C-alpha cells in the first residue's frame, strides 16, 4: 500500500507498541472511557486506544489514509474515523457525536497544537482531560510557571481547567519520518483548576495581559477595556497586582482574582 507522508499535515507517526501503551496509560484510559483523537494517522495509537477504551472517535484530515486506516483498524468495532479538518468542525457537533464525557488522547499535528488546545480550554463542555504529544518546547510552555520566558497565554488559559504536567519525554527517533525536535506527552486533568466567577472574564483577562508583552498590564487593560488610567490602577490595586506589572508575572490564581474584579464591573463578558 503506497502512502506519501505529508509534511504540511504534521505527519510524524508512531509505531512503538511500548510507547503507545504508555501514552494510553498516562491518559488513564480504561474500558469505560470515551476517547477523542485528533489525527489518526496510520492508526497505531487509535488501535491501542480501541483495545483499552469503550469507544474512540478519531478525526483525520488526510483522506489518502483511509485504506491504511481500514487495514490498521480492521476488527475494531468501537472506533469511528471521520475524514475532515478537526479545526473546521463545530465543537458542539463534536461533543454531540461523543455523547457524553470524554478524554482527548492525541499525537497532535504540530502546526495546530495551540489552536487545538485553546479550543478545549474555551469551547469544550464535556472534556475530562487531555493527554497530548507535543513538541518539547510547547510542553515546557504548557507547564511553565509565571515569571519565566515560557509562561504565556496558553499556560494561563490551561490553568483555568487544571494543572498541566509532562508525563513522558519522547525522543525524535520514535517518529517516522523523524522530526527535527524532541517531543513530550503532556497531561491535564480538567478538574476545575481555578474557581472563577466567569470563564469569559478570565479569558479576557489572559488575552488582555498578553496582548502586548512589552506593555504593562495597566496599559494593556486601558486599551482592551477602554478604561482611564485611574480606573485601571484601581482594579489592579484591588487585585493586589503591583504597579508596572506585566502579564507574565501573574500567577493563574492572580489572573482569577483579576478576572473576578473585571467581571464585577461588567468587563470581559461574552469573550
| Residue 217 CB neighbour total at 10 angstroms | 27
Q: How far is the CB of 123 from ligand SAM (least distance, A)?
A: 15
Any bridge partners for residue 164, and if so which?
188
Binder of ligand SAM out of 36, 48, 105, 112 (CB under 6 A): 112
Contact 217/206 with Cβ under 8 angstroms? Answer: no
Q: Is 86 in the site for ligand SAM (CB under 6 A)?
A: yes
Binding residue for ligand SAM (CB under 6 A) from 71, 87, 96, 237?
Answer: 87
| Contacting ligand SAM within 40-79 (CB under 6 A) | 40-42, 44-45, 59-62
CA distance 153 to 209: 8
Interaction between residue 29 and ligand SAM (CB under 6 A): no
Nearer to ligand SAM, 42 or 232 (CB): 42
Q: Which one of 85, 123, 191, 243 is in contact with ligand SAM (CB under 6 A)? A: 85
Q: Which is nearer to ligand SAM, 13 or 258 (CB)?
A: 13
Pairing of β 127-135 and β 79-83: unpaired
CA distances in angstroms from 158 to 86, 143, 221, listed in the order given: 20, 9, 21
Q: Please give the Cα distance from 228 to 234 (Å, whole number).
A: 10
Tell me whether residue 37 or residue 260 sits nearer to ligand SAM (CB atom): 37
CA–CA distance, 124 with 163 (Å, rounded to integer) = 17
For the chain, the farthest-separated pair of C-alpha atoms sits apart, in whole angstroms, at 68
Least Å distance between CB 42 and ligand SAM?
A: 6
Number of residues that bind ligand SAM (CB under 6 A): 23
Positions touching ligand SAM (CB under 6 A) are: 9-14, 38-42, 44-45, 59-62, 85-87, 107, 109, 112
Amino acid at each position: 500500500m503506497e502512502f506519501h507522508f505529508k509534511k504540511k499535515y504534521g505527519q510524524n507517526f508512531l509505531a512503538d507498541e511500548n510507547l503507545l501503551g504508555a501514552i494510553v496509560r498516562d491518559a488513564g484510559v480504561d474500558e469505560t472511557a470515551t476517547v477523542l483523537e485528533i489525527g489518526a494517522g496510520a492508526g497505531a495509537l487509535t488501535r491501542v486506544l480501541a483495545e483499552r477504551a469503550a469507544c474512540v472517535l478519531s478525526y483525520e484530515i488526510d483522506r489518502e489514509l483511509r485504506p491504511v486506516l481500514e487495514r490498521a483498524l480492521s476488527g475494531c468495532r468501537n472506533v469511528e474515523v471521520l475524514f475532515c479538518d478537526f479545526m473546521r468542525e463545530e465543537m458542539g457537533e463534536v461533543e454531540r457525536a461523543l455523547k457524553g464525557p470524554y478524554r482527548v488522547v492525541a499525537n497532535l499535528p504540530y502546526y495546530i497544537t495551540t489552536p487545538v488546545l485553546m479550543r478545549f480550554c474555551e469551547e469544550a463542555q464535556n472534556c475530562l482531560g487531555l493527554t497530548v504529544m507535543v513538541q518539547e518546547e510547547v510542553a515546557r510552555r504548557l507547564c511553565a510557571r509565571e515569571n519565566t520566558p515560557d509562561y504565556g497565554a496558553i499556560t494561563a488559559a490551561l490553568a483555568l481547567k487544571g494543572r498541566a504536567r509532562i508525563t513522558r519525554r519522547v525522543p525524535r527517533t520514535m517518529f517516522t519520518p523523524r522530526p527535527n525536535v524532541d517531543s513530550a506527552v503532556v497531561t491535564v486533568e480538567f478538574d476545575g483548576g481555578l474557581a472563577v466567577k466567569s470563564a469569559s472574564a478570565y479569558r479576557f483577562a489572559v488575552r488582555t495581559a498578553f496582548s502586548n508583552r512589552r506593555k504593562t498590564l495597566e496599559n494593556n487593560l486601558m486599551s482592551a477595556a477602554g478604561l482611564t488610567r485611574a480606573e485601571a490602577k484601581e482594579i489592579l490595586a484591588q487585585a493586589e497586582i503591583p504597579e508596572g506589572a506585566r502579564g507574565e508575572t501573574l500567577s493563574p490564581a492572580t489572573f482569577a482574582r483579576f478576572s473576578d474584579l473585571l467581571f464585577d464591573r461588567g468587563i470581559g463578558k461574552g469573550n
